[in-house]
């Protein structure tokens, strides 16, 4: 348990530090950026800037998603022991903190869409959880 909690804490810290550094040092994205470039953009919507006209809906969805993840993890022995879940938690909590404190998420990487470390953690966590779920239970 301590190992997974340490992974969560490290992922959350890395997300928050990179967002702080991006907001402090990168100019705001102007025009279409080059693929795989550092580009500061504030996301008021949900992932990939969907629903950006409704920040309250994005905040509600983020909070509900964190609670749903908590419920699902509590009900599943496989998920409770999955390292992938720590990536999901790191990403979900990282972006939720941004929404609670700033009312938006700081994205700093452009790879066809704007994203941040928390988004990368969410994608990685999803893949790891799928891998864990496909393995036979011992």
* Residues noted as catalytic: 107, 119
Nearest to residue 39, comparing CAs of 27, 51, 53, 25? Answer: 27
CA neighbor of 20 nearest in space, from 119, 93, 98, 96: 98
Q: How many CB atoms lie within 10 A of CB 73?
A: 18
First to last CA, the chain: 18
Q: Report angle CA 81, 136, 91 to the nearest 5 degrees.
A: 35
């Amino acid at each position: 348990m301590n190992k997974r909690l340490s992974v969560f804490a490290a992922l959350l810290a890395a997300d928050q530090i990179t967002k702080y550094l991006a907001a402090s040092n990168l100019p705001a994205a102007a025009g279409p950026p080059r693929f795989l470039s550092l580009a500061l953009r504030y996301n008021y919507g949900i992932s990939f800037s969907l629903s950006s006209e409704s920040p309250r809906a994005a905040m509600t969805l983020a909070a509900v998603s964190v609670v749903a993840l908590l419920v699902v993890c509590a009900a599943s022995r496989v998920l409770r022991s999955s390292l992938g879940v720590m990536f999901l938690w790191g990403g979900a909590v990282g972006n939720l903190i941004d929404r609670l404190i700033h009312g938006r998420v700081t994205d700093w990487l452009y790879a066809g869409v704007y994203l941040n470390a928390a988004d990368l953690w969410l994608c990685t966590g999803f893949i790891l959880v799928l891998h864990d779920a496909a393995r036979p239970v011992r």
